[in-house]
Each structure stands twice: as structure tokens, then as C-alpha cells.
Structure 1
Amino acid sequence: MFDTVLIANRGEIAVRVIRTLRRLGVRSAAVFSDADADARHVREADTAVRIENYLSIDEQLRAAARTGAQAVHPGYGFLAENAAFAQACTDAGLVFIGPPASAIQLMGDKIRAKATVLEAGVPVVPGSSGSGLTDTQLIGEAQKIGMPVLLKPSAGGGGKGMRLVRDETQLGDEIAAARREARGSFGDDTLLVERWIDRPRHIEIQVLADAHGNVVHLGERECSLQRRHQKVIEEAPSVLLDEATRAAMGEAAVQATRSCGYVGAGTVEFIVPGADPSAYCFMEMNTRLQVEHPVTELITGLDLVEWQLRVASGEHLPFGQEGVTLTGHAVEARICAEDPARGFLPSGGTVLSLHEPQGDGVRTDSGLAEGTEIGSLYDPMLSKVIAYGPDRATALRKLRAALAGTVTLGVATNAGFLRRLLAHPEVVSGVLDTGLVEREVGSLISPDVPPEVYAAAALLRQAALLPPSDATTWTDPFSAADGWRLGGEPAWTTHHLRVPGHEPLAVRVRGGEVRVGDAAAVPARLVTDGGRGVLHWDGATHSFHHAGAWLGRDGDSWHVADHDPVAAALSGSAGAGGTGALTAPMPGTVTVVKVATGDEVTAGQSLLVVEAMKMEHVITAPHDGTVTEIDVTPGSTVAMDQVLAVVTPREES
């Protein structure tokens, strides 16, 4: 076993690897950028080295030399599936904790990978053949396959750059967008096109291979719950597979693993028709540890990071396929910095209050700590909450409860959305497919802020105006902001509040009553203890967490800011920049500007593209008119709600 291992990554996966290294008595060395100088993985590592860029191979190698590391764990993302990095580690005398560079290169090219496993007898998804196809050739291949089709980056993964195209007339625009995102994410805009299978299931097989020719599979993971081709919920095992199909898919995964000379932990992904699981087809192989590896760990009892280390240090696998047993059920939810109420736009901010459940069948893998700054430079995934039980129903129930108890105030997350998704009847029954989340997303997001949230926010503000209850000095009743009046009814105190994406609302407080907007006054009482509170509201009780302007409950959170109606009236608009202004929906970087000042545009026309956390968002014209102002250029860094451009309506111009 190694003495010191460099973790060439950050965040949740770096913390996860450090945990196993510490248990094994191996010294951990971390790397960090300026943005991560005070990050949790830096605090928990035995030593850490500053670098400029996580994607710099030279900097990672220098960090390994400086820390005395004998091996490098790449985590996932960044350089994890970079063949040049794996080879550079080997050339520098370091052990790359992953497969050989040749296997990464082969399986990293989806076109070559499909040809290789097909030759090994593994069924593949019908699609284009050959690399370096032009836009015209891709369109021709799509027409031969027949619509709908899926565009995929040959060098990519994680759903980035993938485009489902149902309308043949949209192929040109979608190919351009897919190439742009693939080039930005992977430095390679080569695309392939595949037949789209309606209502498919995404099932993957975990494999483990040593350097002595031994290969086993560790069962499957169901990854069908996805949004925009990104996994959001994973579980093991899959309710779809019977023992015969599980064994057949496992053997196919083993053959695919052998076909590329693989060593280490990897994942073979299959697309599976829900109506005929035996018609599974190979999609791709991920030559690294997967985000969802904890569910496999929980049902097998194996620490996959430990076995990555043992295999990399030359050990034989001490068990064969018959030694792998699957017990119980595990489900994982990915917590991401995104706001479901605003179309899942990436969010950011400072973590003001944090509670992550652990124990009693619940595990949270996280890179967060209170005070952590969440920016737009990196992937939006913050943590993972995993639950284990003797059966699927128990695991789902535990995970829903764990998500309800997850608190990440200061940054909008999808925890509440995932809790509701896990309670959806089709999810509970196991009738899944990759389109389920997109079909049901509207029913899983509340378009309105609950009135009790406004009530709690107003009562917190009201309490801050009052003198402390243990004050030892006399307080002038005329100066106290409690609405008291001599010889008359107490006056209402009005708090003007606003939640992003919603209109401002006036909330009035008087004694034990609260009026939210135009609704009738109802009895209300607030009891707080530190960052927790209980609101007695209209005959019901609501528990919540609070920090600064943030309120959280059952995994949901709201940023309830003060609103100045006078300033808004003077500016002529309740929102930033006025009705013709186009503002940044998220902090990020402008990658494309398609118009200039003076251009005539039509409603819905694409004007700019903003990228944040590896996701593109197209800014379109809100109405017909003239571009009277452009405040950004490609490469501009923008804040949330910053004005990007102004389109003056045609009748005004």
C-alpha cells in the first residue's frame, strides 16, 4: 500500500477519498485553487498544495512531487478520464489509480468503444459509425436512423453536450449547440448520433478488475431518474432485472471490460427497453469511479475506493464472481446548487447554515462546510445523501426523511424537489424511465411561496425590532416598534418582502396576528431557538431553520429579502433594469453574443448564451423590438440579475 496519495480533485469526491485513506493509514495530499483555499477537502487532508488550475497536468504532477506522493487518485470529473494525464503519471513514476491510459483512450472515444465491444459480442445501440463526421454527415446519419435521435459528444460524459432531437429541421441548430458545449466541456467537439429509444431505462454495471486478469461485476445500478440527461437519483439493485437478466448483463459488462484491457473500478452503461429488459444495449464505459458508487458499496459491503487502491498497488482480487453478494437496497440523491423554482438555474452564495444527516442507514458524502462559498466555476453538485434498508420501500422512506432534514441555507438546492420526486407514485412503484422527471417536473415544483414562509420571515424581522426580553433598562414605549398606541388599537407594522422570481409582497404584523398580502389576518406566534424556529400559524405548526434572510423547511429553502417599494417606484420597475432589460438568470460567463446595438429582433430570438457550472442558458428576446443596449461581450463574467442587454419594444422604438 502507498504511503501518500495525491487527490487530483476537489469537493465531495476529494473528501470521500480522504476518508478511506485515513482509515487505511495512508497520508492524503490535496490540491486547491484560490477559490478553494478554505474548502473542506483542504482542511481534512494531511497536506495540501495550491495550484492555478485543476485541469493542468503539469501542476498536478508538481504537486505530487512536492508532497512525496507515490500515487494519484483522479476522483471523477476534471482529469479522471484524461488518457494524457494517466500516461503522464506513469511516465513520472507515479501510480495512476485507475485504468491504463490505453483503456481510457479507447473507451473515452464512444465511436471506437462501440466498435470494440461489438466485436467482443456485446450488443450496442444503433447509430452512426466513423469519427470526425461533418454537420452534413451527421444530419444524413440522423435521417437514415430516423427521428428521434440523440446527439452525443464522442469524448464526453455526464450528459453534457447531449441533445435529444425530435424535429429534423432543428438538427442544424442542435448540432451547433452540442458541438459548442462539447468543445467547452471536453476540448473536443466530435459528435455521434444514435437512435433514441422512447421510455428507456438507464442501467449500469459496476465492474472491478485487477492487473492479473481477474474481472468481476458488482451488480447493477438503476440510473433512470434523470433531468437533462443528468442523473439525479440512483439505486441498487434495479427492480426491473430478474436474476437471469442480471447475470447476462453482468457477463456482458465483464466482456466489455476485458475487451479494452481494463484495470481498476469502472462502469459499463446500458440502455434497456422497459418492456423488454433482455434487449439491453451497450452505451458507453466510464473509466473511473462513478458519482453513484455509494449505493453499490452499501449493498455489497465493499469500499470501492479501498479496492481501487489495493488493485493499483498490485494486489489480486481475493474473490471471484461467486463471492459477490447483494444484500438489501440503497438509494442516492444528488444535492445540487440549483433552483427548481427558477427552472433549475444554477445558484450560488455562502453556506450560512448546514445540517447533513448521518447514521441509522443514512450516509451523506459532502464537500460542504458552513462558510463555504459556492461560485459558478465548478460543477453544481454539492453532496449526496444515501439511504440503505433491507428492502426498497425502507430505503426510499429513509431517504425522503433524510432529505427533509437536510439544511443548506444560503444556497438554493434541489433537496426538496428530490424529496417530492421520491414520493411520486411511479417512483415508489419502480415504474421508471429516463423521461419521467421531465414529464412530471411541473407537479414536483410549487410555483408559489407558501404564505407561512412570508409570515415566519416577517415575524423574525418584527422580533429584531423589539428590545430584548431580558433588558434591564427602561424602554420608552413610544419608541418601541411593536405597534403600541396610547388609548387605541395597536397599529400594523408592514414588512415589504420579496423572494427571487416572485412579485414583492407586503406582510403586516400586529400583536399575535399576521396578514400576508391581501389575505385575512390570522393568529400567528413564533418561537425560536438559535437557528431553528416553530411557527404556530392559523391552527397549524411549522418547523423551520433560519439564517440571515434564508428560511428552510423539509429540504426546501427560500431567500426572503427586504423590498423597497419606493425605490422600485422611482426606478419605474419592480425588477432590475426595467421591463426591456435582459438580466443574467445565474452567475456565470457570457460565451456567445449574437446581436449588436441597433439590431432588430423578434420575440424568442436567441441573443446571448450564459454558461455556469458547465450548463448553457440561452437568453432570448422578450418581445419584438430593437437592441438599444449591449453591456457584455464574450468572456464577460456576470452576476445573477446583472443587466446584459436591453430590447426596446418596437412600438416604443
Structure 2
Amino acid sequence: MSMFDTVLVANRGEIAVRVIRTLRSMGIRSVAVYSEADAGALHTRVADVAVPIGPAPAAESYLSIDRVLDAAARTGAQAIHPGYGFLSENVDFARACEKAGIVFIGPPVAAIEAMGDKIRAKQTVRAAGVPVVPGRTEPGLDDAAVAAAAVEAGFPVLLKPSAGGGGKGMRVVRSEAELPASIAAARREARGSFGDDTLLVERYIGSARHIEVQVLGDAHGTVVHLGERECSLQRRHQKVIEEAPSPLLDDRMRSRMGAAAVEAARAVGYTGAGTVEFIVDAEQPTDFFFLEMNTRLQVEHPVTECVTGLDLVELQVRVAAGEPLPFGQDDVVLDGHAIEARLYAEDPARGFLPQTGTVLGLREPSGAGVRVDTSLAEGSVVGTDYDPMLAKLIAWGPDRETARARLVGALGHTAVLGVPTNTAFLRALLTDPDVVGGRLDTGLIERRGEALTAAEPVPPSVYAAAALALLVEAEPTGPVVDRWDVPDGWRLGEPAWTVRRLQAAGGEPVTVRVRGRAAGAQVQVGDADPVPASAYRDGDELSVTFDGVTARFAVVHAGGDVWLATDGRVTAFREHERLHSAVEGAGGDGVVTAPMPGTVTVVQAAVGDRVEAGAPLLVVEAMKMEHVLTAPLAGTVTELGVTAGQQVRLDERVAVVTPPATDEGK
């Protein structure tokens, strides 16, 4: 088989951009597909050809096998790269490609079938001599059988969808009383994410390290591994930081796990790039157990590329075209260390709830050892239709500490203005003493809690910068300036103060007073003494000197909001007067508001119901994530203004619970 002329990328976001980059370097024509929500997105602009495939819902666009294959036929694509997620592990899609005479850049159908079902995967690798996590993996377990298996295994247990991955549908259950609700939620989320609500039960290893091995196979009988990745820093079973190699493994353990991964791949006749995932008991790191095999490229593949010097996408394409791997196991050398951080549109201080918005300004890092895989561009709209991951920041160094320090620095030069992100959380996590020391496990983020996620107090200098940014914008420019148009508080005698009430996201309003021109002003933040300050704007950057210290800010003013970014910190301000209607009734008065924009998937209460504090009222889903809204206090549901399937806005009022005293007094 000769090399392909045209390859369609059946995905979106940063992975589509990343695959297209390699196709271009290989001289292969690239075809992007996009939904109505992604019209004009970055991946459509960097591809040679872009084809619309339907409405925003993934089921009607990116998950539509017929529409993807039609786009391939219309553009003459000889092969399809599925990226990860969406159709990447869909056996029906792989079969449909084969029937249509289009090469699926992935493993054979039989391998997807064997490893795509976690139950069958465990049975397959167990037969190959690979150790597996204890639990029940029989297919077709109904709710009663799942509950019985959980009791038999002993709590805590982990409920896992048999299909799919990425932490979707997983539930840790710590007691028998939690089982009914957890089973229902796990099935519902699995069905919504993968179209299959089959569950399996595993022993939950609380102090666990999640380590995966990258494998590659060709159609000529060669299967190799490219070392491991440490993926233990997770929240809700979703990876946050990944690195290669693992700081836990020695050469002997690395060789054992690599050999087990190769055997697992050989057991299903695997070709292409795949990942065999293991769990290691942090208390007994000599023991490891097979978790699953991902029959696709992984989100964290860049760290392996950085330490091996290999382009995994290029190797996938070459293997799919029938070429043999150009190296053997003895040729694989790991050089240095690489760490990756996932940048999400989410608010860690609000339980990592997904966020939306338009990218008004963008700062991305560069420099030695720094790589950015991104889907972002100024003007990009981040909505609720897809996963909230925006980009990946990767840093390489000759040793782990150099890589870690470079990544912390890179995050300090990263800013997305207009969309809240987890940048500050990532920096805090990477500077945690246990992370610095390589003492990792899957429960670390949960244990640290507010130490990592609490919103940092906004320094006075940032409030001053926001007020000065508004002043700079209001000051007239041009060769002739009418003195009365200058907003500097001028009057006979001493200049007057210009007063602003600024409120940072999640904070209380602060009064900031400014007197004079921006180039030479006095600023008073709150009750502090006035201090000298100055500011001048250079394009979309603002240089601010406050109390003798100078800092540069990226600044965007849009829709009444001022977005400022400096040293990895992005702060959004709004003048407080604009917020009265939004915050009205948000106290402890029984009002329930949507914590994120999304879709109501389940309504579990009705008007007139008497509920206890914490009782579930409804479920909101956005970006593949469910959030249960509960009663803020005990009382009667007196208002329920939503139904299943309804879209809700951030902070939209959805229900009211009236306490008994108020209820009885009517």
C-alpha cells in the first residue's frame, strides 16, 4: 500500500489541530470536519479542506458515521484519523470505514472489540498472564447483580462503564446505602456518553498510582512499548497532570510493566498506537494490575513524544499505510523528562464546574522545552456542547525538576481572557510539596481540597490596574483634546476622586478611587491610604506602576467586564452596579441556581414536595459532566421552573425551597 494523499480528521479541538500539523509535515492533504458550533474554529482554518457535517449536538455531527463517511467520499479521503473520543473506539465506525474502502487509522476491528469492552478486555489479558484488578466482570449484570458484586468485593468499590473511558460514568461507592443512586447515575452517564450502560465492579484501591504504557504495533508482527506515563494526578477519575517517565518506577519495574503491556497488545493482534493502563498500589509498588486498554491515541501522548523523539501520529499513519515500524524495542531510548498539564474551561473554586465564554484575548507560552497543543484563538467561542478541555501545555527538561519548573513558568505566561480556566489551579498543583517530590496518588487532589482550589485573594495592585484600565480607555486621544472631556476629576483647587465599585468573580465589591490622569494618578483601594500610580497602554497590554512596583497586564474590556492577566493569573472585574439583579436572592433563602450553563437531564422533585437539606432536586449536564442540584435547606419545593431537556444559563434560578416557618406562616 502506498502512502495516503488525503486524510480526513474525524475530530475537533486541539487533537484535530495536532493531527493536521503532522499530516502537513508529511505532505498529506488534510480534511477537517466541523459542526455548526465549530464553524470558523481553529482546526477548520489550519486544514487544507473543511467540511460541515451537521448541528452542534455530537450525535448529529461528530458521532454521525454516515456524515463523516460522506465527507470523506466528497473530498477523496483515503483514510480517516479519529483522534481520541468521539468515534475513535467505535467498532461500528471502523467496520463502516472498511466497508467503504477507507482506511481507519487505528487498530483492527477485532482488537477494538476485545479491548473496547472492559469485561472482555480483562478476560483476554488474564488469559495472557497479565494481572487484573479483583472484581466482577461478567457481562449483563443487572442492578441487583451489580449491588451484590459490590457487597461481595467489600467497600469501597468502583463502578465502571464497560464501554468508553475518560472517567465518564465512574462512581466510587463507600457504603451499601449509596448503591441505588450511584448505580442509576453511573448507568445514566454511561448511556449518555457511550450509548451503553453496562457496568462492571472493581475493588477500589484508594492509595493508587495510575501508570500507563504506550505500545505500538505494525502489521508485520512487531510490537514494542515506548515506556510509561504517570497519570496519578486526577480528579473525578479524569487525568489532570501527566508525565513521562514515572518517578515511581525503577528499570526492573519498567521492564516488567512494558513486557505485560506488549503481551496484552499481542493477545489481540494489535496494530497502531495504543495504551495499556495499570493501577499500582502506592503502599505496595511492586504489584500492578491491568485496568484497561485504550485502542487509540491518548490525550497525554505528547509527553511520550518529548522523551522518545518520536511523532506518534506519523507512526500511526505509516502503520495504517502498511509500513513496518522503523525500529525495534532495543532502539527505544528515553531522554529526559516531560510533564503535561490540561487546560480546561472550568472554575476550580466552584467544584471545577465547566465555564463558557468567548476568547477575548490570548497569551500562550513559548521557549526552550515548551510545547502547546491548542484549539484556542481570539474569537473562539467555548460552549457547552463538548468537553471543556481547551489546550495542553507540555514542558521537557533533562530531569524532572527542570521539566516541572519550566511547566510552572509556562503556565505563568498563559492567559485566556474571556473564559475562566484552571490555570492557577494547575500552578498550585505543580508546586505542591508532594508533587514536587514525586509522591503521587489518585487521591491527592481530593485530599488537598481547598488548598489547591480556593480562589486566591485579589491583590490591591490588580484592583488598581482594573480602575486604571477603565480610566485609560475613557481618556480621549488625538492631537486636540477638550479639557472637559478628560475624566481626571479636575476642578478648581484639588482634583476630585473618581469612584468605582469593582467586583472580582467570586469576591465582594471593593471601592477604588482614582484621582488624576492615568499617566500620573493617585489610587486608593478600599480603606487603604492613597498611593501614587501610573499606567499606559501599549496595544492590548497595560503597564501599571502601583506603589513603586511595575507590572504588565494583558487587558480586555468588553461588555462591561474588564479582564486582566499577569503572571498566570486572570481576573475578571465587573462594576458592582451591574450585578444587583444577578446576586439578588442568592443568599441562604432556599433559592437554587444553575452552577453552570447546560441541559437539565433529570428532575427528581415536584412543586409541593417536602424535602430535607441536601435532597437531590435535579441534574444539570454540560460538557459531558453531570452536576446534581440539591435542596439548600429543609422545607417545601414552592417553585420548580425547569423540565428535563431544558437549557439553563449560568446562575439561572431553577427552583425555590421554602423553609417550614415561612411555609406555615402563609
Give the TM-score band, short-chain normalised: over 0.9
Q: Deviations over 1:54-96 (max 9, x none)?
A: 0000001101100100000000010001010011100110100
**Quick one: distance in 2 between partners of 1:440 and 1:631?**
37
Instruction: Pick one of 61, 68, 89 that aligns with 1:60.
Output: 68
Deviation at 1:647, TM superposition (A): 2.4
Q: Which runs of 5+ in 1 are unaligned?
A: none
> Hey, what does 1:73 align to over in structure 2?
81
**Quick one: distance in 2 between partners of 1:177 and 1:454?**
43
Residue 588 in structure 1 maps to residue 594 in structure 2? no
Instruction: Pick one of 607, 611, 615 that aligns with 1:601.
Output: 611
Is this contact kept in 2: 1:10–1:41, CA < 8 A?
yes
Instruction: Pick one of 545, 563, 572 that aligns with 1:559.
Output: 572
> Hey, what does 2:504 align to over in structure 1?
499
Is this contact kept in 1: 2:207–2:283, CA < 8 A?
no
> Hey, what does 1:179 align to over in structure 2?
187
Q: Deviations over 1:495-550 (max 9, x none)?
A: 12223333333222234333333444344333332222233233433332111221
Q: Deviations over 1:87-134 (max 9, x none)?
A: 110011010000111211111111111011001000000011311212
Deviation at 1:174, TM superposition (A): 1.2
Is this contact kept in 2: 1:577–1:643, CA < 8 A?
no
> Hey, what does 1:33 align to over in structure 2?
35
> Hey, what does 1:89 align to over in structure 2?
97
> Hey, what does 1:617 align to over in structure 2?
627
Q: TM-score, normalised by structure 1?
A: 0.96
Distance change in 2, residues 1:625/1:520 (3 Å)? farther
Residue 286 in structure 1 maps to residue 294 in structure 2? yes
Query: Amino acid of the residue matched to residue 487 of structure 2?
Result: A
Q: Deviations over 1:408-431 (max 9, x none)?
A: 111111112111211111111111
**Quick one: distance in 2 between partners of 1:47 and 1:162?**
38
Query: Could you tell which deviates more after superposition, 612-621 or 545-554?
Result: 545-554
Query: Amino acid of the residue matched to residue 640 of structure 1?
Result: L
Deviation at 1:359, TM superposition (A): 4.0
> Hey, what does 1:131 align to over in structure 2?
139
Secondary structure in 1 aligned to 2:446? helix
Deviation at 1:579, TM superposition (A): 4.3
> Hey, what does 2:265 align to over in structure 1?
257
Deviation at 1:462, TM superposition (A): 2.4
> Hey, what does 1:361 align to over in structure 2?
369
Percent identical: 63
Secondary structure in 1 aligned to 2:384? coil
Secondary structure in 2 aligned to 1:54? coil
**Quick one: distance in 2 between partners of 1:133 and 1:573?**
47
Is this contact kept in 1: 2:585–2:591, CA < 8 A?
no
**Quick one: distance in 1 between partners of 2:453 and 2:461?**
17
Q: Deviations over 1:199-253 (max 9, x none)?
A: 1100000000001211000000000111111101110001111111101100000
Distance change in 2, residues 1:3/1:575 (3 Å)? farther
Deviation at 1:276, TM superposition (A): 2.7
Query: For residues 143-222 of structure 1, what are the structure 2 equivalents within 5 Å?
Result: 143-222=151-230
Deviation at 1:288, TM superposition (A): 0.1
**Quick one: distance in 1 between partners of 2:18 and 2:411?**
20
Secondary structure in 1 aligned to 2:606? coil
Distance change in 2, residues 1:451/1:648 (3 Å)? farther
**Quick one: distance in 1 between partners of 2:527 and 2:185?**
46
Q: Which runs of 5+ in 2 are unaligned?
A: 55-60
Deviation at 1:384, TM superposition (A): 0.5
Secondary structure in 2 aligned to 1:105? helix
Secondary structure in 2 aligned to 1:452? helix
Secondary structure in 2 aligned to 1:591? strand
Query: Amino acid of the residue matched to residue 134 of structure 1?
Result: D
Query: Amino acid of the residue matched to residue 314 of structure 1?
Result: G
Q: TM-score, normalised by structure 2?
A: 0.94
Residue 403 in structure 1 maps to residue 414 in structure 2? no
Deviation at 1:312, TM superposition (A): 0.3
Residue 524 in structure 1 maps to residue 526 in structure 2? no
Deviation at 1:577, TM superposition (A): 10
Deviation at 1:261, TM superposition (A): 1.5
> Hey, what does 1:483 align to over in structure 2?
489
Query: Could you tell which deviates more after superposition, 33-42 or 624-633?
Result: 624-633
Secondary structure in 2 aligned to 1:218? strand
**Quick one: distance in 2 between partners of 1:412 and 1:400?**
18
Q: Deviations over 1:609-632 (max 9, x none)?
A: 111110111111112232222221
Query: Amino acid of the residue matched to residue 484 of structure 1?
Result: W
Deviation at 1:598, TM superposition (A): 2.4
> Hey, what does 2:58 align to over in structure 1?
none
Residue 271 in structure 1 maps to residue 279 in structure 2? yes
Q: Deviations over 1:557-601 (max 9, x none)?
A: 122112217x83xx6964669944322111111111112222222
Q: Deviations over 1:420-479 (max 9, x none)?
A: 2111111111111111112123112343333332221122122333333x5414323xx6
> Hey, what does 2:460 align to over in structure 1?
451
Is this contact kept in 2: 1:417–1:556, CA < 8 A?
no
> Hey, what does 1:295 align to over in structure 2?
303
Is this contact kept in 1: 2:564–2:572, CA < 8 A?
yes
Query: Could you tell which deviates more after superposition, 230-239 or 454-463?
Result: 454-463
Distance change in 2, residues 1:337/1:177 (3 Å)? same
Query: Amino acid of the residue matched to residue 371 of structure 2?
Result: R
Distance change in 2, residues 1:535/1:579 (3 Å)? farther
Residue 630 in structure 1 maps to residue 640 in structure 2? yes
Q: Deviations over 1:21-65 (max 9, x none)?
A: 000000001100111110011011111111111000000110110
Secondary structure in 1 aligned to 2:658? strand
Moved over 6 A (4+): none
Instruction: Pick one of 122, 126, 130 that aligns with 1:122.
Output: 130
**Quick one: distance in 2 between partners of 1:290 and 1:196?**
23
Is this contact kept in 2: 1:572–1:578, CA < 8 A?
no
> Hey, what does 2:57 align to over in structure 1?
none
Distance change in 2, residues 1:320/1:160 (3 Å)? same
Query: Amino acid of the residue matched to residue 572 of structure 2?
Result: H
Is this contact kept in 2: 1:451–1:516, CA < 8 A?
yes
Query: Amino acid of the residue matched to residue 49 of structure 1?
Result: V
Secondary structure in 1 aligned to 2:136? coil
> Hey, what does 1:467 align to over in structure 2?
476
Is this contact kept in 2: 1:120–1:256, CA < 8 A?
yes
Query: Amino acid of the residue matched to residue 509 of structure 1?
Result: V
Is this contact kept in 1: 2:588–2:632, CA < 8 A?
no
Deviation at 1:391, TM superposition (A): 0.8
Query: Could you tell which deviates more after superposition, 441-450 or 175-184?
Result: 441-450
Deviation at 1:285, TM superposition (A): 0.2
Query: Could you tell which deviates more after superposition, 245-254 or 132-141?
Result: 132-141
Query: Amino acid of the residue matched to residue 476 of structure 2?
Result: P
Query: Could you tell which deviates more after superposition, 68-77 or 130-139?
Result: 130-139
**Quick one: distance in 2 between partners of 1:572 and 1:342?**
17
Deviation at 1:274, TM superposition (A): 2.1
Query: Could you tell which deviates more after superposition, 396-405 or 335-344?
Result: 335-344
**Quick one: distance in 1 between partners of 2:446 and 2:587?**
32
Query: Amino acid of the residue matched to residue 318 of structure 1?
Result: P
Deviation at 1:160, TM superposition (A): 0.9
> Hey, what does 2:563 align to over in structure 1?
550
Query: Amino acid of the residue matched to residue 614 of structure 1?
Result: K
Pairs aligned (count): 646
**Quick one: distance in 2 between partners of 1:164 and 1:618?**
16
Distance change in 2, residues 1:572/1:195 (3 Å)? closer
Secondary structure in 2 aligned to 1:333? strand
